[in-house]
Amino acid sequence: MDRQVEVALWSGRFEEAPDAFAHRFGASLETDKAMAMQDIAGSIAHAHMLAAQGVISDEDASAIVDGLGAIRGEIEAGEFAWDSADEDVHMAIERVLTERIGAPGARLHTGRSRNDQVATDIRLLAKDLCGQLMEANVSLRQALLDAAEANQNVILPGYTHLQHAQPVSLAHHLLAYYWMLTRDFTRMKFARMAADASPLGAAALAGTTYPIDRQKTTDELGFSSAMPNSLDAVSDRDYLLDLEYACSVCAMHLSRLCEEIVLWSSTEFGFITLSDAWSTGSSIMPQKKNPDFAELVRGKTGRVVGSLVGLIVTMKGLPLAYNKDLQECKEGAIDAAVTVADCLRVAEGMISTWHVNAEAMLAASGTGFTAATDVADYLAKKGMPFREAHEVVGKLVLECEKRGIGLEDLSLEDFEAASALFGPDIVGTLDPAAIAAARNSFGGTGTQAVMEQIELARRTLESDQSQIR
């Protein structure tokens, strides 16, 4: 039988040690290691507060803080001896501390429970994870903004239903993802705000009779406030739902971006060439250059969304206050945050190193009758009701399809036969670059509108960068 199972810190009421398999089933040590630093920070703050309130002596507090500092250094150096017999990171650290410093270590848990201890650790970790996500987010947005600035004059076909629709600038296209990610940043920021309240001092569920000072630990740990209800403090995991939702939406946006990278790098499109550093080859086909990393980002979206759904289902039937089900809240949230942060970095790597094939994009933007709307607008601006103009141009497109040509291949006589309003200047209406450049309504793909959008994006990015820490 495992030694540590026999001397579990809660074993006083029990005559038998837990079954070894049951112990392993109930343990969470491997997942909990991710918040070892947060656990130590929470324990140090708790020890400082207990001493300040006269609950433990200054000497005990000093021994606790020094002991925890030594353990922190060992963990950071990879030298700490974890014992698989320990239930979780909290018990592992407290056990070693008590073995080293004796009675002062046994006094550390005065006035708190693992319930508020765990909740504090997870909230601190969630704040850290949100900060990492926000950093990765602004880095990718910077890469998108740089790519947009470098490709303002590159024209490609805009799509609806994956069919050629109207020409747009590549800058405009990339900025669409920039704004998606800007909204993701806001969700990440609010998830961090949701986690920014201290449950420490709530104890098991009802508070404590010790004269604790919750504001002191709140301030030392960098929380903005203390949670006002002890039941809610130990049982709330809404902030993890907020974190996982932010991750899920961001992963969805990245999946859309990476789907386009997969398409654009294909032979059929040929719009971009990915760097060798962000591509892979085939074990059998020597010619292959695969967008595996874009595909992986797209694929990882499923596991991120799965974590969100898993936590919602876990939480839906829990009565107040703490239930062991809540042990399942950590692994998915940590995995989702780490996965999305990695995906953001992968997307940044691909975009910052790709080669844009501007000629292929421009050639494609002139096919598929992308000028049709502008030809209809041409007639409308000369007085024809737009619905009539729409029909006139629709018939021209049909004629072109029958003849196997594009609108740009029609003669002036062909246009004039369709409507007397057409004149020689219709030819300029068919140029994809001119079509894109002319749409200068706010948020449009026109040259001036895109320049204004880039400036707005730059200011937004600077503001968000200042909010990360």
Query: What tokens appear for 357 in the block?
Result: 């094939």
The dihedral through the CA atoms of 439, 444, 450, 456 has a sign that is positive
| Catalytic one of 161, 355, 411, 466 | 161
CA–CA distances in Å: residue 329 to residues 7, 34, 200, 223: 27, 13, 18, 21
Measured N-to-C along each axis, helices 114-150 and 238-264 cross at an angle, to the nearest 10 degrees, of 30
Q: What percent of the chain stands above pLDDT 90?
A: 84
Look at residue 16 in the predicted model and tell me its pLDDT: 74
pLDDT tens digits, 328-382 = 999 999 999 999 999 999 999 999 999 999 999 999 998 888 888 888 999 999 9
Domain ranges within the chain, ordered by starting residue: 3-110, 115-158+167-364, 368-451
Average pLDDT over residues 297-324: 96
Does this chain's domain 3-110 share its CATH topology with 115-158+167-364? no
pLDDT in tens, 82-116: 998 899 999 999 999 999 999 999 999 999 999 99
Residue 328's alpha-carbon distances to 240, 310, 311, 455, in angstroms, are: 11, 9, 8, 44
Query: Is the pLDDT reported for residue 259 higher than 90?
Result: yes
CATH number of 115-158+167-364: 1.20.200.10
- Would you call 161 a catalytic residue per the annotation? yes
| Range from 244-248, 432-436, 440-444 carrying the lowest mean pLDDT | 432-436
Task: State the pTM of this model.
Answer: 0.92
d(CA 75, CA 83): 13
Written as six digits, the tokens of 407 are 């609108």
Q: How much of the chain, in percent, has pLDDT values that exceed 70?
A: 97
pLDDT average, residue stretch 445-457: 97
Q: Is 432 exposed, middle or buried (0-12, 13-18, 19+ CB in 10 A)?
A: buried
Whose tokens are 């050639």? That residue is: 363
Query: What does pLDDT average to over the chain?
Result: 94
pLDDT the model gives residue 9: 60
State pLDDT tens for residues 125-162: 999 999 999 999 999 999 999 999 999 999 999 999 99
Matching CATH number, 368-451, of 1.10.40.30, 3.40.605.10, 3.40.366.30, 1.10.8.50: 1.10.40.30
- The confidence band for 280, taking pLDDT boundaries of 50, 70 and 90, is confident
Catalytic residue among 11, 57, 225, 282: 282
pLDDT at 2 over 50: no
Reference 190, options 130, 128, 124, 251; nearest CA is 130
Position 160 scores a pLDDT of 94
Distances (CA, A) of 107 to 110, 230, 316: 6, 22, 36
Q: At what angle do helices 170-195 and 238-264 cross, to 10 degrees?
A: 160
The values of phi and psi at residue 156, to 5°, are -140, 165
pLDDT of residue 14 exceeding 70, the answer is no
Cβ-count burial of 442 within 10 angstroms (0-12 exposed, 13-18 middle, 19+ buried)?
A: exposed
Q: Specify whether 198 is catalytic.
A: no
Report residue 163's pLDDT band, with 50, 70 and 90 as the boundaries: very high
Q: Which residues contact 411 (CB under 8 A, 6 or more apart)?
A: none
Task: State both tokens at 351.
Answer: 């975009």
Q: Phi first, then psi: give them for residue 135, nearest 5 degrees.
A: -65, -45
Write down the pLDDT at residue 20.
80
Taking domain 3-110, whether its CATH number is 2.40.50.140 is answered by no
